[in-house]
């Protein structure tokens, strides 16, 4: 039986965007609220932290080295030390009300970043894409909290979720990776948890961190729940695959907005967990500039 365990002795504020570097055999992740990108090398135990001037919504490793990172006000290219070197574009949302949130890359090495509408009074967030030539495009709107970005290995589907609205979407992609009309993949009822960050495995199944649901769920390409893995914390935020065979699931969790009593009762809130699984995940590509 697979054993869930903490990656190492660490708890963050709002860890998100776990990203496995196959080349380095290391895990990267962001702590959004603290404005940090972390790197942990499991074999050596080396843990490094890069500090940024604003919240780090999401990021991707660059093929040329360094990062593409979505801060509250803008998307930037950085060097390997996290130094901001080139502003790609401003946040197309109102950055005072909608910071960047979940994101990642597609099979063509383009970068996607969604926003989260903090007031929660209507669907004021969006999802945007940065092409390989650094041209930005808003590709979806009518979202309250963009999350759950993942791409099928056959490049035919883009998955995304709207966490406050408890829905996972699936959008068809043409042969150039351009999105068509999105449709509902799965809608969740109260008490099931809300779909947060996600990843896809080589069998085409979608793994979702169920925020406020104490669990990770795996769904078939038809939206049927196949498996679930219970957690000792209430709010997982995202998953990614990694390890030498891409069969380790890394799970970020949060302690954001938790009172002292809950943190004391569930002290692993904010930890990163590892879970061995029987199926390999689809590898994330770096951001590719041309």
Name the residues annotated as catalytic. Answer: 196
Tokens of 111: 């970068």
Contact 247, 276 (CB under 8 A): yes
Dist CA 247 CA 34 (whole Å): 29
Dist CA 215 CA 209 (whole Å): 7
């Amino acid at each position: 039986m697979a054993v869930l365990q903490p990656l190492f002795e660490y708890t963050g504020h709002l860890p998100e965007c776990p990203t496995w570097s196959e080349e380095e055999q290391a895990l990267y992740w962001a702590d959004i609220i603290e404005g940090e990108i972390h790197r942990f090398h499991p074999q050596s135990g080396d843990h490094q932290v890069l500090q940024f001037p604003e919240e780090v919504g999401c990021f991707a490793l660059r093929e040329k080295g360094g990062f593409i990172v979505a801060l509250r006000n803008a998307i930037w290219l950085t060097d390997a030390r996290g130094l901001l070197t080139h502003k790609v574009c401003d946040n197309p949302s109102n950055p005072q009300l909608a910071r960047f949130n979940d994101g990642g890359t597609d099979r063509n090495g383009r970068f996607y970043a969604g926003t989260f509408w903090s007031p929660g009074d209507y669907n004021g967030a969006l999802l945007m894409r940065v092409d390989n030539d650094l041209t930005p495009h808003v590709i979806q709107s009518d979202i309250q909290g963009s999350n759950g970005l993942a791409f099928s290995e056959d490049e035919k589907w883009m998955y995304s979720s709207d966490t406050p609205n408890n829905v996972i979407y699936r959008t068809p992609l043409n042969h150039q990776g351009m999105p068509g009309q999105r449709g509902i993949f799965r809608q969740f009822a109260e008490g099931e948890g809300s779909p947060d960050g996600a990843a896809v495995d080589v069998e085409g199944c979608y793994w979702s961190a169920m925020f406020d649901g104490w669990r990770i769920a795996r769904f078939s390409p038809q939206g049927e729940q196949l498996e679930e893995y219970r957690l000792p914390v209430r709010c997982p935020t995202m998953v990614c695959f990694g390890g030498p065979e891409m069969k380790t699931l890394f799970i970020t969790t949060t302690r954001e907005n938790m009172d002292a009593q809950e943190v004391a009762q569930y002290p692993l809130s904010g930890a990163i967990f590892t879970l061995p699984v029987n199926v390999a995940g689809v590898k994330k590509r770096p951001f590719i500039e041309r």
